[in-house]
Structure 1
């Protein structure tokens, strides 16, 4: 199982947005430049996020995007559902004993675990970890 570029870029852009002041709108091209992502691709991603109520936007020279709610209230599962539609393993389609075994022993436990993990992680958790890693990079020096 692999996250699509759309989900990865969406998470990257939302982490970038989450570390900005809550009251400020951030231009999409600024987020794109900082993270080396195509502005056109981010426009598509942010269109989905805006329609789902994850971000708000304002048009114009002082416009841009900001989170529609606090980062601690936005779950990674919510973001992935907006961007992927469905991120869980597909259910077994057969009704044979083998299909039922695969469903009960593999698919169900994987989906339950994945859902549990992604519902526990918030955008705030990602932003804090990002800042911790960023701070660690600034402290590194080489001899």
Structure 2
């Protein structure tokens, strides 16, 4: 299984923020250069991250972004859910009435288990595991 580009870039960008020398903010230009992606694409990702309360922006000279909460409090599942279009959950009434296929039940169960797994991994866990990653 492989994540699409949007959540992968979001996780990478969040790791850059977590590894940044605090309390400074990191610019999208720095992240874009490091991850070799466009600033406009990062702006879309960060709009979603900001909307979900994962990052905060600072305007003006020395501005940029920083984590809205401690890296120990942000899970990988939260990051993915913030930027990836999540498929709708199955309707419990449809499940009770057996109007949902077995394949839909399988994928719904798989998605729930994967989310539970990723919800146990924090941004701090990743930065401890890969502290040598390039930083902004």
TM bracket, shorter-chain basis: 0.7 to 0.9
Matched with 1:138 is none
Q: Following the alignment from structure 1 to structure 2, what is the Cα–Cα distance between the partners of residues 98 and 26?
A: 46
Q: Following the alignment from structure 2 to structure 1, what is the Cα–Cα distance between the partners of residues 76 and 58?
A: 24
Count of residues in correspondence between the two structures: 131
Q: Following the alignment from structure 2 to structure 1, what is the Cα–Cα distance between the partners of residues 85 and 69?
A: 21
Q: Does 1:80 align with 2:80?
A: yes
Matched with 2:121 is 121
Q: Following the alignment from structure 1 to structure 2, what is the Cα–Cα distance between the partners of residues 32 and 115?
A: 27
Matched with 1:110 is 110
Matched with 1:141 is none
Residue 80 of structure 1 contacts residue 87 of structure 1 at CA under 8 Å; is this kept in 2? Answer: no
Q: Following the alignment from structure 1 to structure 2, what is the Cα–Cα distance between the partners of residues 96 and 56?
A: 44
Residue 81 of structure 1 contacts residue 87 of structure 1 at CA under 8 Å; is this kept in 2? Answer: no
What is the CA distance between 1:114 and its match in structure 2? 0.5
TM-score, structure 1 normalization: 0.77
What is the CA distance between 1:4 and its match in structure 2? 2.1
Residue 26 of structure 1 contacts residue 65 of structure 1 at CA under 8 Å; is this kept in 2? Answer: yes
Matched with 2:38 is 38
3-state secondary structure, aligned to 1:111 = helix
Over alpha carbons, which structure has the higher Rg? 1
3-state secondary structure, aligned to 1:12 = helix
Matched with 1:17 is 17
TM-score, structure 2 normalization: 0.81
3-state secondary structure, aligned to 1:57 = strand
Q: How large is the RMSD of aligned CA atoms in angstroms?
A: 2.7
Offset from partner CA, 1:32-68 (integer Å, 9 cap, x none): 1111111111011111111211001111121000001
Q: Following the alignment from structure 1 to structure 2, what is the Cα–Cα distance between the partners of residues 43 and 85?
A: 17
